[in-house]
Amino acid sequence: MEQQTKSNYFKGLSKRDYIEKAYEIIQNEGIAAVSIRRIAKEMGCSSASMYRYFGNLTELLFYAELRELQGYIKRLNASEKRWKNVWDIYVGVWDCYAREAFQKPEAYDLLFFKYSNMKLQKVFKEYYEMFPEDIEDANHIFAEMLYAPSFVGRDFRMCSRCIRANAINYYEAIQLNRVVCMTYKGYLKTILDDGIREEQIEGRVREFISDVDMIVMKLAKDLKGYNGYYSTKKNI
């Protein structure tokens, strides 16, 4: 009897099962619709059973929202073919990232700011072991940034490419890293506070990339022929 009760309590559900259910609700109704009680009801288990795998609801939501990075991976793969030098890569990665983040601001805020950076590497590794299909198409740029310890650290991986290419000095790269990350946070915070309509996203991305270009032009040691991300049709 005790064994049967325990079986009904947990229902043999895996961590992946909870993540998939949370993601399903998010896709259909938005992140605000996900609750522990809702998850338990739809999966036919106890509300407490979720805590076998997740410390709280935010942790479950973090895992579920990692699926949103698939769009980012696809954009990187498509855009990489057009990039010619390190500045194309640096600004282009931000262009891909901003296009996804401005479309899904709550998801990207949760993924990169609300969750403890100390846990990110562990979570990424575990998630992609559970969902290897989500990363099988990832290019080397995404893989290189994935396991950096923080949001700022991921951008500095790209800055380091520019240092190695002798396109920027080390101390200017630190400044580039700091100023661009702060600029992005300002854009995302504004979108989270004020909202954004679908037809506004393209213009907002271009404004942000124009700001990034301005910072790059100011701090670069050698632009290597780079004249702005949208200066030619190849990146439009």
For residues 125 and 161, membership in a common domain is answered with yes
Q: Is residue 128 part of a domain?
A: yes
pLDDT exceeds cutoff 90 at 218: yes
For residues 111 and 200, membership in a common domain is answered with yes
Mean pLDDT check: name the lowest of 1-5, 69-73, 75-79: 1-5
Query: Which of 31, 54, 77 lies at the terminal end of a domain, its last residue?
Result: 54
Q: Is residue 236 part of a domain?
A: no
CA 179 – CA 45 distance, rounded (Å): 47
CA 17 – CA 143 distance, rounded (Å): 25
CATH number at residue 10: 1.10.10
Q: Which residues have C-beta within 8 Å of that of residue 133, sequence separation ≥ 6?
A: none
For residues 22 and 91, membership in a common domain is answered with no
pTM above 0.75, yes or no: yes
Q: Is residue 31 part of a domain?
A: yes
Which pLDDT band holds residue 46 (cuts at 50, 70, 90)?
Answer: confident
Mean pLDDT check: name the lowest of 48-62, 116-130, 199-213: 116-130
Q: What is the pLDDT of residue 222?
A: 97
pLDDT per residue over 6-31, tens digit each?
A: 444 456 789 999 999 999 999 999 88
For residues 127 and 40, membership in a common domain is answered with no
**Three-state SS at 157:** helix
For residues 80 and 44, membership in a common domain is answered with no
CA 171 – CA 174 distance, rounded (Å): 5
Q: Is residue 63 part of a domain?
A: no
The residue among 200 and 72 whose pLDDT is bigger is 200
Q: What is the pLDDT of residue 224?
A: 95
For residues 15 and 98, membership in a common domain is answered with no
Most confident of 67-76, 118-127, 199-208: 199-208
Q: What is the pLDDT of residue 139?
A: 72
Are the C-beta atoms of 131 and 52 separated by less than 8 Å? no
Domain of residue 222, residue span: 69-229
CA 18 – CA 24 distance, rounded (Å): 10
Are the C-beta atoms of 184 and 115 separated by less than 8 Å? no
The residue among 179 and 144 whose pLDDT is bigger is 179
For residues 93 and 43, membership in a common domain is answered with no
Which pLDDT band holds residue 116 (cuts at 50, 70, 90)?
Answer: low
For residues 7 and 101, membership in a common domain is answered with no
